[in-house]
Every structure is written in C-alpha cells, then in structure tokens.
Structure 1
Amino acid sequence: MAGSPTQKGVLMQETVAAKADQAAIFHDAEQTGLRLAIKGRLVALILMGGWLVVTRASDPLRAIEYLLVLGVLAGFGIVHYKIIGTSRDRSWVKYLFVALDIAFLSLLIATQPVFDTVDLPQAVIFRTPIFPFYFIILGVAAFSFSPGLVLWAGACGVAGWLGAFAFAIRGMEQTFDWKDIGTMPDTQTFVTYFFSPNFVGTWSRLQEALALGVVAILIGLVMWRARYTVRRQIEAEQERRTISDIFGQYVPAAVAEVLISKRGTLAPVEREATILFADLADFTKLTETIGPKGIVEVLNAYFDAVSLIITRHHGVITQFQGDAILATFNVPAEDPDHAGCGVRAAREIADLVQSRNFAGIALRTRIGICTGTVIAGSVGGGGRQNYTVHGATVNLAARLEEMNKELGTDVLIAATTTKHLSGYNFKQIGQMDVRGLAEPIDLYTFGRDASADSDANRSAPAGSAASVS
C-alpha cells in the first residue's frame, strides 16, 4: 500500500538529509587531504631548495633563480592552504591552483634554458628529467580524494607538457625526429640524429603525455571506486541508524542493535540477570481522577525520566505493562555489575519520584529487585515477535514490588541481589514467605539515610564498593 503524502515527505526529507551528510563527509575529506598534500608539497619544496643551493654553490645566481621559482610554487600552496575552509573557498578554487602549478611549471619549461652559458635550442630541455614533476602535481591532487580534481590535473598536465613543447620548437628552422632515424638505423645515423640539438622527439613527448593521462585516469578510477565504497558504507550505516532509531521506539535500543546485527532474531539464552520491576501506587485511582488524556501525559513524562535512568545504568526495558516497567540487567547485553546497576537504578528512580512531579502530578513508585537465572529471547507468532524474559526470578521481582504495599516500603531487594554487593549497606526487613516459593527469603530495602548515600552510589563506577544504607 502506498504511503501517505506526509510519510513520503518525511522519507524525501530524510533522503535529502542523508545525501547532504554524504556530501559533507566527502567535502571534509577533500579539504583534509588537500591540507595534508599542501604541507607535504611545502616540505618537498624546502628540501628541493636546499639541494639546489648545495649543488649550485658555484653558480649563486642560478641557485637564487631556482629558489625564486620554488618560492613562487610554495606561495601558491600557502595561499591555497589559507583559503581552504574559509568563506572565500569555492568548488573551483582547488582546480584553479592545480592549473596555476602546471601553468607555471610549463612556462618555465618552455622559456628557461638548461644552461645560460650554452646556446642550445629550448627543445633540449625536454631531454632532462623534468617531466616527473607533473606526476608530483598529480600526486598532490590525489590527496583530495576527488576523481574530478585528479582528472583535471591529468588534463592540465597533458596540455601543459605538449603546449610547452610546441612553444619550445616553434621557431626552430630545422628539426629532427624519430622518422629521420628510421626503424633500423646504424650506429652513426642514430648518434648523428639523436644527439643533435635539433632532435625534438615528438612521438616521445606524445608518449609521455599519454602516460600522464592514463595514470590520471587510473588514479581517478581508483578514487571513484573508493568514494563509491565509502558511500555505500555511509548509506548502510545511515540505514542501520535509521532502522535502529525507528525500531528503538518499540523495543529497547540495546535489543534493537542486537536484532539488527542478528537479522531479526535473538536466540534464547539462559543467564543470571538482575530484574527490576517498578509500578505506580494508586494508579487506578489516578486514572479516574485525571482522565485518559491526563494519564497518558503523566505516564509519558514518568516513562521518559525512568527510561533515562535505567539506560544510564546499563539496563534494558523489555516491557511497559500499563503503568509498570520491567527492566533487565545482564541480558541481552552482558554486564558483570548487573546487580549493582539494578540497585543504583532503583535508588535513583525512587529519589526522582520523591523529588518531582510528572505533568503536574505527584507519583509514588514501588520497586522490586531480584537476581537469578532467567531465560531471555525472542518469542511470538503470526509474524510478530517480542523480546522478553521468563523464569522464577522475574516472577519474584514482580511479587516483591507488590509486597512493598504490605510492608510500607518503596523498594524491596531480594537477598539473591544483595549477596553480589559487598560493601553496600542495606536495611534488612526480615525473612518473608513469598507466594510460589517453598522457603522464605531474606528481604532488604534502603535505610532512612539512603538519599544521602545515593549520590555517591550514582557517581561510583560499576563494581565499586559504594555505600547504600
């Protein structure tokens, strides 16, 4: 059945937001990569400058010229670095600076002679190992994680290299090329033409440009594939988060996460756990007093506050039963301090209910806590399942909650829970017969000064010997 216009609108908004998140992630990655590349480029220029000064010590003027060239390139990088992430940064800025680098390098190749003291055609410079500098610029572009910038760098490099070559040979009256050497030359012919200052090697320049272009395409494809993979991962994580958020409104978040990872089912487990059962006192009378709308507002405020406390203490609410809450500690997520977490959660809930109103209504809660073996897992039928816990421990926690009314207490804790908590001080109520059990059990509660100790218990790390009286 087709969704309502409202639902479609929400889905469209979520899709747009997800795409915006992806774009922001890739944009941040590009900026981070460019900053890193510019830093590396600057370090390389500094090292290169030092090398040129040392190797050109006999020709200080030439060394200064090299340093000026490297300074201009370094200046391009510094300006670009300052612009990245500012209000002046635009999508085309990174393309501009790549083009400037290549244009400046190509201009130098086309106009600057290899040696000032030797009268040679400018085409001779293409025999020097200067072409790899284009690959350095291509490598810098690759740090951006942007296929478009890599392809742009490759295209600019090809244009710059061939353009510089065309400019360098434009005024030569005579040129030699591979066709002049032939396919099977003798030694004398090869040496005569290849080592001639007028040998330009056009096909070699085309081959170099082709290699640069192919490498740029390959790196661009790798970048595209990497971005595609990352995008799929982001989409999967966004989908998982969306499902978890929606599913978590109906089942505990911890259960939702496990269900998603287990693809919808939780195998039954038998494990020791602490069960907390909380119920509101005089709830029936309250519903008659404030009516359905009022009771829903009260319950929502109460459940929100209590849920936060239970979650903060690593508990999982498996059921809302009318005005009652069934929470588990140690299932489905394991927690060695489950008994302590359950007791601290109960203390904080009791303090909270005593200290504030919920939707303008004062409440009183009764809590039962018991530790023992439970069976937990997904149960249901007709295509619907629910995560729940079963066993005598669950029944006893519910029974202890009821006994609070008989004993005039707010919290009752079974001895099976207190025996796990050395260093805690509880007030023993006595030995009580519990319906459904053959032998009586020892029951405990918090003492009169428990509120003074509760802050220490809440701030104490799991497993610490915090005091509860």
Structure 2
Amino acid sequence: MPNLTRLDLHQTSASAALADAERNGFWLAVIGRSCALVAIAFFYLAIYGYPNNVYVAGAILVTAAIGLIPLRLVNSRYERMARFVLFAFDAAAASAILAFAPLSSGDNVPQNLVFLSSRTEYYYVILATSILALSPALVIWTGLCAVIGLAGATTWIMLGMERIVSLGDLPASPSRADVLEVILSPDFLGIPVRMIEGVVIGLVTCIAALAVHRARNVVRANAAAEAERTRIQRIFGRYVPPQVAEQLIQAGQLAPQQRAATILFADIEGFTRLSETLSPPRVIGMLNSFFSAATSIVDDRGGVVVNYISDALIAAFNAPLPAEDHPARAVDAARDLLYLVSGREFDGHRIRLRIGIATGPVAAGTVGGEERHTYTLYGDTVNLAQRLERLNKEFDTDCLISGPTFEAARSNCGDAVAMGSVQVRGRESAVEVFALSGQSRR
C-alpha cells in the first residue's frame, strides 16, 4: 500500500472515530443534562415557596425537554448545528436566570443581589457538559456564549438600577465599617468581580478546549493504530487468523527477521491430471474446500499458512509467531492433514497429499512493490521442505521429514521409518530423511 493510501486510510479512520466519539459524547451530554435539570426542578419545587417554586420548576422542566430535540437530528445535516444551538440556549437560559429569576418568593429583593448566590456556577456546569462532545470548537463556543451571557445579564441588571455601588466606592484603605457598608448595600454590584468571573470562564474554556484537543489526538492515534492493524491483516491475507495478526502487531515482528523454524510444504498428488477432468469452478471449489480445512489444522497447531501456490500450501512454525516446540507442532500438523484427506472428500473428490517438512534457519519479512505486499519465507530450509515433498513420489511415501526435524520431535515420530541419507537437488551434502505415517495423534 503506497504511503498516500496509508495516510488516507488513517485519516478516514480517525475522522470516523472522532465523529462517533462526538456523537456518543453529545448524546451522553444531553441525557445527563436532562436528568440533572429534572433533579434541580424537583429541588426548587421543594425548597422555594408557592407559587414561585412551580414557575421555576416548570421553566426548568421545559428547558430539559427542549434539550432533547437535538437527539432527533442525529445523522442529519443539522446535527452539528443543533449542538451549537443547544449550548447557546443553555448559556442564554443561565443568563436569564441571573437577570430575571427572583431571589425570593416574598418581598421584592433587588436583582443585583443575585450575584451573591451561586447562580453563576451554572455556566461552569454547562461548560463541563460541552466537553463530553469532544469538540474544541463547541467548547470555545459554549464559553463564549457564557461570557456574553454573563455580560448581558450584568448589563441588564445595571440598566434597571437607579444607583450602583461597587468596589470602586471603597476608600484607599477601607475600614471594616467601610467594607460592610459597601458590600451590604442593596445597591451593591461588584462590577470588577463580574469582570474577573468573565475572565475566569474564558480561561477555563481555553483549558477545557486544550484538554479536548489532546483527547482527540488520542482518538486519532487509536484510529491510526486500528487502521495499521487492518493493513497488516490485509498483508497476511484472509486465511491468517485475526488473533495471529494481533499477536504480530503486539510483538512487533513484522520487520525482516531470521530465525530457526520448521517449514511444512504440502502438495496435492496428481492435481494436474485431476484438474483436466474438472471445470474451473469445480477445481476452485475443491481447492477452497481443502485449503479451508487445512488452514484450520495448521492454525490449531500454532502455525501460519504463509502462502498458497497452485495446489500447494506452505506453512511455517515459529515464524512469524514464536513456538518453542515447532518441529513437533509441524509433525502433528502433517499427521492431521494426512488423516484429513484419508477420510474426507472435497467438493466430491478424494485427494492424496505429499508433504515435506524441514527444520532450520529461515528469513522472513514483507516483500513486494508499492501497490502490493506479501509476507514470505525464503532460505535453504524452505527449499529443502519442497524437495522432500517431491521425493515422496520416488519413495512412494506420504510425508518425508528431515533429520533435524526428526531429532527435535523424536517423541512425536515414534513410527517414523529411516529412509537413509538422500542426495537432494541443490544441496552438496546428503540429507538424513525419515518417512512419517499418516496416523493422526489427535
């Protein structure tokens, strides 16, 4: 896969993951907001005196109901806009509570004294809720609406006051009496304090937006990792088990490596003659049926089918996944394969296998051009396994294993028959060869 394609894949995965995270977070924010407002409504209903408690509770319940509307716009073109509208509405509602909701159901209390209560803290609750949507723009928008709302409520209250007493009315070195006279005045409105609150809301907004930005980077990194896992699984093909690909990713063993491994080479005897009598769809059906069953056997024994070549398959044990007893695993897999073909038909046809097994050093890695990669094994051990498979025809055997494989898996080769030293094409020295029966050890 070219670099541009990999980048596009990662970006697409990150965009989809972020969209899901924003949608799920916004859904959680709306539901949490509604539950909180319902609880607050009942609280005001119990604490406030009649009839103001009914008015306030009713207004809060209406606000909670209005907040559920954006959920009906999910997956529509108005979904994103609805999020901004909802949080602007919440900031406006909090500002309206500051500007209009009375402090008491009794005598008329100056509205400027509302700032002595905890109502300005509603802005922080709204801002915290916006964080759940994982959108820095939405957090900044909510904070901006809160600052504007606070300024608007403060201005509205100021316009309704005949006289304003603020901290600026204190002398340079105020006494206790001076402070109490100003702060306890019914005309008190701490304008500098309101300005500081606006600055603090702005700072909290910036910090929250930065935190959301970092969280989005984590989501992007996770999405990129998942995209990379998908790419690796494609490299290994559909017959590599997902858990194998996952272990390869975790182990970091996709880089070129050289290690001792056991190679199993299995080929269908007389396939050319058989394929001449069958139609291409029947041939493909037979091969798919066999390869599917054979791959399951190799997987169960801890190996990996590295490649399919016409009617043959190459399986590796201890490459790319580590397996300390890889010779024994390969021998057991060979027995299982021979037992499989001895008692089963594949797409209505009986087949016979010839298998070669060799143990030794192999080199492994991904090779190919920019448009296509594949995982492959190469080296003398791979060639030897293929040569041993072909020697079965001369010895009239089903499975031949090399001397090193026999020695390493002696306890699994109790019925193996020594065939002596054989000169194998492409090797200067003779190879000790053993014939294995097809009796399964399962």
Give 1:157 shift. Answer: 0.6
TM-score by length of 1: 0.70
Give the structure 2 partner of residue 446 of structure 1: 438
1:214-293 residue pairs with structure 2 within 5 A? 214-235=203-224, 238=227, 241-242=230-231, 244=232, 248=236, 257=248, 261=252, 264-266=255-257, 268-270=258-260, 273-281=261-269
Give runs of aligned pairs for residues 101-140 of structure 1, distance below 5 A.
Answer: 101-140=90-129
Q: How many Å apart are 1:350 and its aligned residue?
A: 8.2
The 5 A counterparts of 1:288-327 are 308-309=295-296, 312-313=299-300, 314-317=302-305, 325-327=313-315
| Secondary structure in 2 matching 1:92 | helix
Partner letter of residue 226 of structure 1? A
Q: Is the 8 A contact 1:366 1:401 kept in 2?
A: yes
Choose which of 59, 69, 72 in structure 1 pairs with 2:62.
Answer: 72
Q: In structure 2, how many angstroms separate the alpha carbons of the residues matched to 1:133 and 1:329?
A: 63
Question: Measured at CA, do residues 302 and 416 of structure 1 come closer, stay the same or move farther in structure 2, by a change above 3 Å?
Answer: farther
SS of the aligned residue for 1:117 comes to coil
Percent of matched pairs sharing the same residue = 26
Please give the residue correspondences for 1:6-155 in structure 2 after superposition, counting only pairs within 5 Å: 11=4, 15-16=7-8, 18-54=10-46, 56=47, 59-80=49-70, 82-83=71-72, 85-87=74-76, 90-155=79-144
Q: Residues 439 and 117 from structure 1, CA distance in 2 versus in 1: closer, same or farther, beyond 3 angstroms?
A: closer
Encode CA deviations 1:104-157: one digit per residue, 9 max, x unaligned: 221122112101322232111122111111000000000111101100110111
Give the distance between the partners of 1:47 and 1:127, measured in 2 at CA. 23
Could you tell me which runs of 5 or more consecutive residues in structure 1 were left unpaired when the two chains were aligned: 1-6, 380-384, 451-466
> Residue in 2 aligned with 1:458?
none
How does the TM-score come out when normalised to structure 2? 0.74
Contact 2:338 2:438 in 1 (8 A): no
Contact in 2 for aligned 1:151/1:216 (Cα 8 Å): yes
Is residue 341–residue 351 contact of structure 2 (8 Å, CA) maintained in 1?
no
Q: How far apart in 1 are the matches of 2:171 and 2:323? A: 82
Would you say the 8 A contact 1:279–1:367 is kept in 2? yes
Q: Show the counterpart of 1:433.
A: 420
Of 410-419 and 216-225, deviating more is: 410-419
Shift of 1:206: 1.6
Which of 327, 339, 362 lines up with 1:376 in the alignment?
362
Mapped to 2, the partners of 1:167 and 1:200 lie a distance apart of 12
CA distance in 2, matches of 1:356, 1:347: 16
CA offset at residue 94 of structure 1? 0.9
CA distance in 2, matches of 1:141, 1:345: 60
- After superposition, give the CA deviation of every residue in 1:195-226 in whole Å (9 maximum; x if it has no partner): 11111122211211111111111111221233
Say whether residues 1:157 and 2:143 are aligned partners: no
Following superposition, the deviation at residue 274 of structure 1 comes to 4.2
Letter matched to residue 319 of structure 2 = V
Worse overlay, 204-213 or 134-143: 204-213
Are residue 405 (structure 1) and residue 376 (structure 2) matched?
no
Count of residue correspondences: 419
Whether the aligned pair in 2 keeps the contact of 1:135 and 1:212 (CA below 8 Å) is yes
> Aligned residue for 2:369?
none
1:327 is paired with a residue whose SS is strand
Q: Which has the higher contact order (CA 8 A, sep 6+)?
A: 2
CA deviations 1:10-56 (Å, max 9, x no partner) are: 946x65554332221111101222222334334433444454455x2
1:91 counterpart SS class: helix
- Give the alignment's Cα RMSD to 1 decimal: 4.8
Q: Deviations over 1:175-196 (max 9, x none)?
A: 1222222443233332222211
Aligned 8 A contact 1:278 1:368 in 2? yes
